[in-house]
Structure 1
Amino acid sequence: MTDWTDPATFAAALDRAETLEKGNHFEAFAEGDRIAHDAGIRLTRHGNDEWMSRTLNHDPAYWRTDAARERGFDEPPVHPDYLVACTMGPSVEDLSEKGGYFLGRDDVTVHDPAVYPGTELRVESTVRSTRESSSRPAYGIVTWETRGVDAESGETLLSYERTNMVPRHEPLATDGGGADGGGTDDESGDGDDPPALPDDLIAPDGPAFDDFRRALDAAADRDAAVAYRHERGRTMDAELVSGLPLATLNTAGQHHDANRMADSPSGGIVAYGDVTRSVALAHARSDERTHRELGYGDERFHTFVAPGDTVYGFTRVLDADPSDGPPGGGRVRFQHVAFNQREEPVYSGTRTALVR
């Protein structure tokens, strides 16, 4: 009788056993394909509070009923960062669990700011484009549009487009002469010229809309930009790296399977991009009187964030429009850059918010 737990016998069985794989290769995707992600997720108060507290997002409107009602909500809604992560998470098994670089995301739109705990989210994606990777023959490049939908009403709550490298089932024959980008920025100058920065970097005097407007006005008549760094940092611990992704049904092994990642380019597990992003945006929000989040764009992830890395934030104010917003406030468009303790950019993106 076979003893399947005998070490030598079990090792032989593992060598012969077929692995039932998760996820899809590049060849599985064709432009126009629509994918209904089976899992879905129920947005919860606990999940929202856990995400917000661990990423340092402390806006009282998402914590306290009185503050929420002052902003026009019936009760504290779920935070947009939590909604983004819960829309992304259920899509991972079908779209990107095989691995590959997360190249970027764009047109992140909050269709309804008043999404409350208890909402059951259905997630669906459409393949927008596929293309070969001339620099990485083992990968292709896929762009999807993903929507988070209220399962009861059918209303779209959040949508975005994201682009990933996805492993091919069969590597492409190529001379490797092209360049597609690979999740990191390799662009640099020749090392001789100084950085092309404005003469002056101006910080606003305070967190309100008028402070941003005055800083932009001060920068307008000279070679200056409204750009500043935020004091807080957040070191990536086990809960951030593995716990939060798994709580949003993100099953990508990059965040929790150290054995699988030992031979990867990063050499180990890495943080979920949406955790890095949320921490960076939290640093920025702590220095502004945010009224409401509107949308995000041109999001890029520049290099790996590993356990033990510390994420800091840097902000540039692009414009401030008083014609749209709460009384005395307006719409502000920012560019945010997250960077690590080595002062290397790890994330960048634009963000539009109403500021009081």
Structure 2
Amino acid sequence: MTDWTDPDTFTQALEQVETKEKGNCFEDFEEGQVIEHDPGLTLTSHGNEAWMSQTLNHDPAYWRQDAAEARDFDEPPVHPDYLTAATLGITVEDLSEKGGYFLGRTDVRFPGTPVYTGTELTVESEVVTKKSSSSRPNYGIVSWRTRGKDAETDEVLCSYERTNMIPRRQPLETDGGTAESAEAEDDEPDLPGEFLTPEGGYFEDFVDALEQAEGRDAAVAYRHERGRSQDAVTVAYLPLATLNTAKQHHNVDVMEDSPSGDIVTYGDVTRSTALGHARSDERTYREVGFDDESFHTFVTHGDTVYAFTRVLSAEDDGDVAGTVRFEHIAFNQDDEPVYSGTRTAKIRKREN
């Protein structure tokens, strides 16, 4: 009788059986294709609070009933960062579990009405474009428009467009040439002569700082003091809690021979941590949206995520809050940028 648990026997068996693979390759996507992602996810208080606490997003309106009501919420709502991460996490098995670089995301938008815990989230993605990669014949480039919806009302709760490199089932045949690239310039960076920091975190403080910088060789830009070192919770637990099954976040065995050499932090954890640092120095009223998001290098266990902010513009909407547009850059302990993106948010005004 065969002993299947005998090490030599089992090794031979493993070499002969077929692996039932997960995920899709570049060839499996077609422009215009709509993918319904299954399963969905119920947005829970535990999931919301775990995400916020571990990424240092401590806005009291998302934690306390009295603070929520003061901001015209019925109760503490789902944080936009958790909503975004959950929307993307559900898509991973169908779109990007095969691996490949996350090239960017833009046009991240939310509804005008708040989203509360208990909402059942369903997600669909449409293939916007697919094209070959001239520099990487083993990969193609795919962009999707993803929409997270309320399962009961069909209201779109979160939408964005994201682009990934996706492995090909069959490498693209090339002529052996290399992709053209622009020559690196040796010029010194054209930084402003001075950097101004807002006096506080209210809308008026950002307006004042921008007015001071106007007409001068100056920019409104500053770094945030807090940092968050990556641990087992941020690297593995948080993505898995959003149903993000990408092996990059939890399979040490597979990732040992990868370019990072280790499992890596989910991009939305890195992003949310940097935004949490920034929001701690603001009086945020509502999140409006995000654009031009890019991830620049790996964040792994033990790395520390810090944040830098540049204020781009401020517009008075004649309401309790004004609209401010920021550029946020997350960086690690070696001062290397790991994430960048622009953000539009309503920032509270001082009470008259």
**TM bin (shorter chain):** over 0.9
Q: Cα gap change, 1:239/1:51 in structure 2, threshold over 3 Å: closer, same or farther?
A: same
**5+ long unaligned stretches in structure 1:** 181-185
For the Cα contact (< 8 Å) 1:136–1:176, is it kept in 2?
no
Residue in structure 1 matched with residue 240 of structure 2 by the alignment: 246
Query: What does residue 62 of structure 2 align with?
Result: 62
Is 1:151 aligned to 2:157, yes or no?
no
Among 183, 207, 228, the alignment partner of 1:234 is 228
Q: Which residue of 1 aligns with 2:212?
A: 218
Unaligned residue ranges in structure 2 (runs of 5+): none
Secondary structure of 1:222's match? coil
For 1:349, the equivalent position in structure 2 comes to 341
Secondary structure of 2:257 counterpart = coil
Report matched runs for 1:1-356 at 5 Å: 1-174=1-174, 175-178=176-179, 189-190=185-186, 193-323=187-317, 326-327=319-320, 329-356=321-348
Query: Runs ≥4 in structure 1, deviation > 2 angstroms?
Result: 186-190
- Is the contact between residue 112 and residue 157 of structure 1 (CA under 8 Å) also seen in structure 2? no
Amino acid at match of 2:189: P
Letter in 2 for 1:30: E
- Alpha-carbon RMSD: 1.3
* TM-score, structure 2 as length reference: 0.97
Q: Deviations over 1:122-164 (max 9, x none)?
A: 0000000000001011000000000000001111011000000
Q: 1:188 to 1:284 in 2, by over 3 A?
A: farther
Q: 1:267: how far off? A: 1.2
Residue 294 of structure 1 aligns to a residue in which SS? Answer: strand
Helix, strand or coil at the partner of 2:253 = helix
What amino acid is aligned across from residue 326 of structure 2 in structure 1? Answer: F
Change (3 A) 1:213 1:244: same
Give the C-alpha shift of residue 319 in structure 1. Answer: 0.3
Shift of the 212–39 alpha-carbon distance from structure 1 to 2, 3 Å rule, reads same
By how many angstroms is 1:189 displaced?
3.5
- SS of structure 1 residue aligned to 2:299: coil
Q: How many angstroms apart in 1 are the aligned matches of 2:344 and 2:150?
A: 23
Contact (CA 8 Å) 1:280, 1:312: kept in 2 or not? yes
- Deviations 1:38-95 (CA, angstroms, capped at 9, x unpaired): 1110000000000000000000000001111111110000000000011001100000
Whole-angstrom distance in 2 between the partners of 1:125 and 1:38: 11
The TM-score with structure 1 as length reference comes to 0.95
* Distance in structure 1 (CA, Å) of the matches to 2:296 and 2:156: 30
Matches of 2:124 and 2:286, distance apart in 1: 26
CA contact (8 A) 1:137 1:176 kept: no
Q: 2 CA distance for matches of 1:187 and 1:260?
A: 35
Determine the C-alpha separation between the residues in 1 that align with 2:102 and 2:146. Answer: 14
